[in-house]
Amino acid sequence: MAETTTLLIEIGALLLAMGLLGRVAGRLGLSPIPLYLLAGLAFGQGGLLPLSASEEFFEVGSEVGVILLLVMLGLEYSAGELLTSIRRSALAGVFDALLNALPGAAFALLLGWGPVAAVALAGVTWVSSSGVIAKVLRDLGRLNNRETPVVLSILVIEDLAMAFYLPVLSALVIGAGLAEGARTLAIAVAAAVVILYVALRYGRIISTLFSPRQREALLLGVLGLTMLVAGLAEQVNVSAAVGAFLVGIAISGPVAEHASELLTPLRDVFAAVFFVFFGLTTDPADIGPVLLPALALAVVTTATKVLTGYLAARRVGIAEPGRWRAGLALVPRGEFAVVIAGLAVSAGIEPTLAPLVTTYVLITVVSGPLLARVTDSARFRAALRQRALSRGREAVPPLP
């Protein structure tokens, strides 16, 4: 009884603190994610007031949070939009991987962490945070901008690429041999292809299983299907998050709209729990030694992400302001960065990786939303106009 009482007190106190921090973040115009991470650091291992009874709850809740983040993202797309996005932005996805994965891999090798840690850090710096970026785009009223489909296409390709990347990383961190690793990857790829095929081919049939008029049945049904597919995907070494994302893709029409409305509060709660748990498992004392390396890595990969979005938007004919908006929107890293780091650290690959990634995510999720607002400033617009005028003058040949 006493243990249950302690559990309720710890959970209640931490959720209340998260609610207050979310309000503060809203007042400041920031994403609440960095504050959630800081709350986890304050109440976790080595923090100001370590909590022990509720750690298991937050561990399970964090897994649910990742699943809900990705299924909600999938509900934003239809199957046709997904295929169109992939076709239009396939080349941008390749450039994205090269420009952003290589700095992370090189950084890990420079620190002497070895090839497995290099593969893990490459994934951390490669994949942007779909959840944070979607929220920033909504907050800034840019969902209908011309460059937004470019940003979303890159995010979709990154999320799908995780279906192939995570099994490879899993095989590496457990030290699987070449044959075992190849078998694991083949099973994962086959499972991802099957889930994607079912989502695209039979999405409408799946949607008919649920009625948008029955809110309780719809919520339980969609949530149950998502958890089931996520669990089965995890069983065959496909990311549970990718399985959840494809469930979101499969559900369409009024069912998707109503499911999104019903799942939003749950997503907000468990997504916050996800980020808090990562902070809970990181000792703040470990952050000091990695602060400067994390800052250096953030500076380099911010530049590469901006370049990625800028080039992708230019390729489809977006004007220069939209190119900068696309590039700056892609800066934040979040969900997958934390998942990748957790996978590597749990296998004992490199203990320093967790505090480095925590600090790196903190830097990018704080700076990302702030940088995204830069393009709306009068000074930035004036600089772009001056640059356009200079180019115009250079294009006009001098009089003889």
Residue 181 placed within a domain: yes
Degrees, nearest 5: CA angle 273-189-206: 65
Per residue in 324-373, pLDDT tens?
999 999 999 877 787 787 777 766 777 788 888 888 988 898 888 888 88
Residue 42 placed within a domain: no
Residue 390 placed within a domain: no
Residues 147 and 319 sit within 8 Å (Cβ to Cβ):
no
Residues 93 and 154 sit within 8 Å (Cβ to Cβ):
yes
For all residues of the chain together, what is the average pLDDT?
80
Residue 9 placed within a domain: no
Residue 283 placed within a domain: no
Domain boundaries, position 95: 55-271+295-349
Per residue in 251-298, pLDDT tens?
877 888 888 888 888 888 887 887 787 777 777 777 888 899 999 999
Q: What is the pLDDT of residue 84?
A: 73
11 or 309: which leads in pLDDT: 309
Q: What is the pLDDT of residue 32?
A: 78
Residue 363 placed within a domain: no
CB within 8 Å of 231: residues ≥ 6 apart? 240
Q: What's the CA gap between 400 and 396, in Å, rounded?
A: 12
Per residue in 146-171, pLDDT tens?
888 888 888 878 877 876 787 777 77
Residue 14 placed within a domain: no
Residue 395 placed within a domain: no
Q: Count of CB atoms within 10 A of residue 217's CB?
A: 11
Q: What is the pLDDT of residue 276?
A: 81
Q: What's the CA gap between 61 and 3, in Å, rounded?
A: 19
Q: What is the pLDDT of residue 82?
A: 67
Q: What is the pLDDT of residue 188?
A: 67
Q: What is the CATH number of the domain that holds 202?
A: 1.20.1530.20
Q: What's the total number of domains in the chain?
A: 1
Q: What is the pLDDT of residue 111?
A: 87
Q: Count of CB atoms within 10 A of residue 112's CB?
A: 8
Q: Tell me the pTM.
A: 0.75
